[in-house]
Amino acid sequence: MEIYHLSQKINTGYDTFDSIVVCAESEMEARLIHPITKDWCGKEESCFPVWVDADLLTVKHIGKAKEGIEKGIICASFNAG
């Protein structure tokens, strides 16, 4: 497993995520991890906070994940309005 930093500079207003750090098996898998989860949205199918399409993200490989780190979001940066 690897650790990646994903960032975007397209949606920069309030109530947006500007970056997340994730654990994934590959860069492609990392790009598909979305910061808005069912836990965030509750019963709604879509939420107000915005992210961008996977191909518009800037991705930096940080390094190898420590054994036992689960796949998914490690932390996220959200700009509340």
Which structure tokens are listed for 70? 């689960």
55 vs 31: CA distance, rounded Å: 8
Confidence category of residue 15, pLDDT binned at 50, 70, 90: confident
Average pLDDT of the residues in 28-54: 75
C-alpha distances (whole Å) from 5 to each of 44, 46, 47, 59, 72 are 27, 24, 22, 6, 12
Beta bridge partners of 79: 16
pLDDT of residue 52: 87
Confidence category of residue 77, pLDDT binned at 50, 70, 90: very high
44 vs 80: CA distance, rounded Å: 19
Asked whether the predicted pLDDT for residue 26 surpasses 90, the reply is: yes
Average pLDDT of the residues in 2-27: 94
